[in-house]
Amino acid sequence: MDKIRLLIVDDHPVVRDGLRGMLERQPDFEVVGEAGDGKEAVDSAERLRPDIVLMDLRMPVMDGVAALGEIKTRQPQIQVLVLTTYDSDADILPAIEAGAAGYLLKDSSRGDLYDGIRAAARGETVLAPAVAARLVDRMRMPAEDQLSNRELEVLQLVAEGASNSDIAAQLHISQATVKSHLVNIFGKLAVSDRTAAVTAALRKGILSLEQ
Q: What is the DSSP string of 109-125?
A: -HHHHHHHHHHHHTT--
Q: Which domains does the chain have, with CATH numbers?
A: 4-138 (3.40.50.2300), 144-204 (1.10.10.10)
| Integer angstrom CA distances of residue 84 from 7, 99, 130 | 15, 16, 13
Model confidence at 140, pLDDT cuts 50, 70, 90, reads low
Residue 185, pLDDT > 80, answer yes
pLDDT of residue 190: 77
Residue 27, pLDDT > 70, answer yes
Model confidence at 20, pLDDT cuts 50, 70, 90, reads very high
Residue 87, pLDDT > 90, answer no
DSSP 75-108: -TTSEEEEEES--SHHHHHHHHHTT-SEEEETTS
> What percentage of the chain reaches a pLDDT higher than 70?
93
Task: Give the mean pLDDT of 136-141.
Answer: 64
pLDDT of residue 210: 59
Higher pLDDT: 8 or 125? It is 8
Model confidence at 164, pLDDT cuts 50, 70, 90, reads very high
pLDDT of residue 47: 95
Which own/partner contact pairs does 67-72 have at CB distance under 8 Å and 24+ positions apart?
67/9, 67/38, 67/39, 67/41, 67/42, 68/95, 68/98, 68/99, 68/100, 69/98, 69/99, 70/38, 70/42, 71/41, 71/42, 71/45, 72/98, 72/99
User: Of the ranges 52-56, 59-63, 75-79, which one carries the lowest mean pLDDT score?
Assistant: 59-63
Residue 62, pLDDT > 70, answer yes
Distance CA 107, CA 162 (A): 31
Distance CA 177, CA 165 (A): 11
Select from 206, 87, 211, 203 the least CA-distant residue to 155: 206
Task: Give the mean pLDDT of 3-30.
Answer: 95
- Per DSSP, which regions of the chain are E strands? 4-9, 29-35, 52-55, 79-84, 102-105, 126-127
pLDDT of residue 43: 95
- Phi, psi at 57, each rounded to 5°: -100, -50
Task: Give the mean pLDDT of 70-94.
Answer: 88
pTM for this model (two decimals)? 0.67
Amino acid in position 7: L
DSSP three-state, residue 210: coil
Model confidence at 209, pLDDT cuts 50, 70, 90, reads low
